[in-house]
Amino acid sequence: MQNITENQPRPSLLRRTARNTARAFTLLEILVVLAIAGMIIGLAVANFGKIFGGAKENIAEMFVTSTIRLPLETYRMQMGNYPTTAEGLQALITAPADKADRWRGPYLTGDKAKILTDPWAQPYQYRFPGIRNPDSYDVWSKGPDGMDGTPDDIGNWSKDSNLGGIPGLPGQ
């Protein structure tokens, strides 16, 4: 065993000192952590609209290009053609009066009040025969501004299609 002299600290004293210094954070360390957390929260709040605004556009685009396609094709196969513009997308949920005997729907299920509205709580637009898709149908959302025929409209047509700037057409 080792002799402890007056110049050598005691082992228990070393353990106690190390334990006390490892237990606490300095005020400066706490302030740095709070400042970093504040900056991260500030950036997240500032970009909140951009993050979720883009998600709404993606949801609308997915609906008009993919989600609605199968119900409309199923309707066409069973009824002989797509719903007319007058019947609209509502024909996928409830039978049109003159076609009730052939209708085998509903072709879309869910909350009828929400199923045909876009992320901005506006009804999806529908036209058959389509202007942008003459051999098929046009389905579109008026987009974030809620106005038809503006550049933010989201439809089931190619972004590159141009109809010569005809006013009032979706996507113009």
**The three-state (H, E, C) secondary structure of 47-74, written as one string:** CHHHHHHHHHHHHHHHHHHHHCHHHHHH
Contact 153, 140 (CB under 8 A): yes
Q: How far apart are CA 150 and CA 146, in angstroms?
A: 9
What's the pLDDT at 31?
82
CA angle in degrees (0–180, nearest 5) for 33-34-38: 120
pLDDT score for 86: 93
Q: List CB contacts of 147: < 8 A, sequence separation 6 or more.
A: none
Contact between 71 and 162 under an 8 Å Cβ cutoff? The reply is no
Domains of the chain: 46-155 (3.30.700.10)
Print pLDDT tens along the chain (172 aa). 555 556 665 656 556 555 555 577 788 888 888 888 887 887 777 666 555 556 888 889 999 998 899 999 999 999 999 999 999 999 999 888 888 888 888 888 877 767 889 999 999 999 999 999 998 999 999 999 999 989 989 999 876 554 444 444 444 4
pLDDT at 171: 43
- Which pLDDT score, from 0 to 100, does residue 172 have? 42
Structure tokens at 69: 């396609």
The secondary structure of residue 46, as a DSSP letter, is H
CA–CA dist 125, 147 (Å, integer): 11
Angle between helices 48-62 and 27-46 (to 10 degrees): 40
